[in-house]
Structure 1
Amino acid sequence: MPQDSKPEIIMLDMKKIAKMNMWLTLGLSVGFFMVNGFIHQQFSVSISFWNILLFIASYIILIALHEVFHLLGFMIFGKVKFNQLEYGVNLKLGIAYATTTQPLPNKAMKKSLLLPFWTTGVIPSIIGFTVQSNILLLLGAFLIAGAIGDFYMYKELRKFPNTSLVKDDPELPRLYVYEEGVKVNND
């Protein structure tokens, strides 16, 4: 019979993550524009009210999709049922979140953490380079940088066996990691 055990806790320092996000967003934006200029042998930026509005609307949609892809990852990789998923916005922390009440094997959690990076960050960037769209490049840079917290948690989870169980905190940017065979409370 599995034993109860104290978990290892992985917690994000939101101030540190926000600072890293800001610098990474700036660096990727400038870098993407420079690379795009070299690829297409021209550099131009067009700023208009409609471009800004399109960027803001697209950014909000992609942030929501980022969280939806976490949920899809929980379902695909962790075999979580739909009714075990939660999605929302924490206004106090200023973040959107997706979580599951079901503990996942570490291997499934790591895949679920990085799925949105690829789908909402890398894919728009590749399309932006292909069609020479500064808006898509900027969106890609913002969403790639926005995945910095996911990468931090992924890095920390690499220290544990793939069979460890990982429980996502429903209110805070924190993960609880349990040894294999440990009974996990779902409260």
Structure 2
Amino acid sequence: MDMREMEDETRGRKDAPPLRITINGDYEEYYVDPSMRLVDFLRDYLGMTGTKISCEIGRCGACSVLVDEVLMNACLLNVYQVAGKSIQTIEGLKGEKALHPIQESFLKDGGFQCGYCTPGMVMAVQALLAEYPEPTEVQIREGLSGNLCRCTGYGGIIRAVKRAARELRQVKI
């Protein structure tokens, strides 16, 4: 049985408990297979393809999302594990302008090349800067240690994190 058939089978069933969840600030109820991976739910069911699938074992960080403001790998979570929680994906990260300051910093400082790891990396930076508004380089490297980039060599990413931290501090002042 493929994912679409599972969704059709569980959607609207009275015996299937609803998944109550807040995604990017919007509270909804969904009838889905509770064992579906969060990454598949986001991408295939909701069409939020910013969350990427790569290693599928929680080592690369391409699927990083915030669950109740904690960075987690969506490939390692089933939807029942996030019931009642708040999920933030890259689609929910917005700035006062079109892009969030973290995203703008990645553009200005060459924090991406192919862009595949970028959504997960940006979510990791969001979590990092929430905990350390003025991170040291060691904190930056540690905060990004769960996210792999095979293109940039990390120099641009580290510069982007430092710029984002500066810009976000200026906005809050």
Q: Which has the higher contact order (CA 8 A, sep 6+)?
A: 1
TM-score (norm. length: structure 1)? 0.24
More helix by share: 1
TM-score (norm. length: structure 2)? 0.26
